[in-house]
Structures are given as structure tokens and as C-alpha cells.
């Protein structure tokens, strides 16, 4: 699935851009895993390693990692760069709950 297909695969989609060598990204891995588990498939979560998905990162305008983006109907609605508390991330996704 391409990046464009991914962000249009559901009404609401969470995308994370990361790198395996990034310590902030490594600290976010268990947080993102927990968020995925709590979402229980209601909202797809796509994770892109910028070293393997440079075109997608460029297309999304990613300048720092980790970067989290919520897409609604294929359009960016929210973005956060850097570490973020899992509860805050989940609450932000849930703010779109009436849309998925």
C-alpha cells in the first residue's frame, strides 16, 4: 500500500514517521503499540521509517522525528513532532471519534 493509499484507507488515519536510530522514536515505540492496541482497529495506524520511505516523508513535509499526523478523508488535520504522552495522542485521535 502506498502512502497516499494509506492516508485514504479510512476516514481517520494516524501516521507516524520515525527512524530506527532515533532515541525519541525508540521511546515512542511502546507508546504507539499501546495506542494501536487501545484503538483496536477502529483507526488504522501506519508507521513509516523515514530511511525506507523518504518520498512519503517528503510528501508529508516531515522535518523532524518522530512526527505524528492525523489524516481525515486524506487531508492532514493535526500534526505533532517529538515525543508525546500516549493518553494525549489517544485523546487527540478520539476527538475525531464521531468521524470514524
Asked about 15 being catalytic, the answer comes back as no
Q: What's the 3-state SS for the chain?
A: CCHHHHHCCCCEEEEEEECCCCHHHHHHHHHHHHHHHHHCCCCCEEEEECCCCHHHHHHCCCCCCCEEEEEECCEEEEEEECCCCHHHHHHHHHCCHHHC
Instruction: Kindly name the residue from 7, 25, 60, 62 that is annotated as catalytic.
Output: 25
Q: Is 25 a catalytic residue?
A: yes
Considering 6, 22, 29, 45, which one is annotated as catalytic?
22
Supply the residues annotated as catalytic: 22, 25
Amino acid at each position: 500500500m502506498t502512502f497516499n493509499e494509506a492516508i485514504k484507507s479510512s476516514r481517520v488515519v494516524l501516521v507516524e514517521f520515525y527512524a530506527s536510530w532515533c532515541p525519541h522514536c525508540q521511546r515512542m515505540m511502546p507508546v504507539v503499540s499501546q495506542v494501536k492496541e487501545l484503538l483496536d482497529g477502529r483507526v488504522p495506524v501506519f508507521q513509516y521509517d523515514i530511511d525506507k520511505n523518504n518520498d512519503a516523508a517528503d510528501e508529508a513535509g516531515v522535518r523532524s522525528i518522530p512526527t505524528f499526523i492525523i489524516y481525515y478523508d486524506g487531508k492532514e488535520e493535526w500534526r505533532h513532532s517529538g515525543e508525546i504522552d500516549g493518553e494525549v495522542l489517544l485523546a487527540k485521535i478520539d476527538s475525531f471519534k464521531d468521524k470514524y
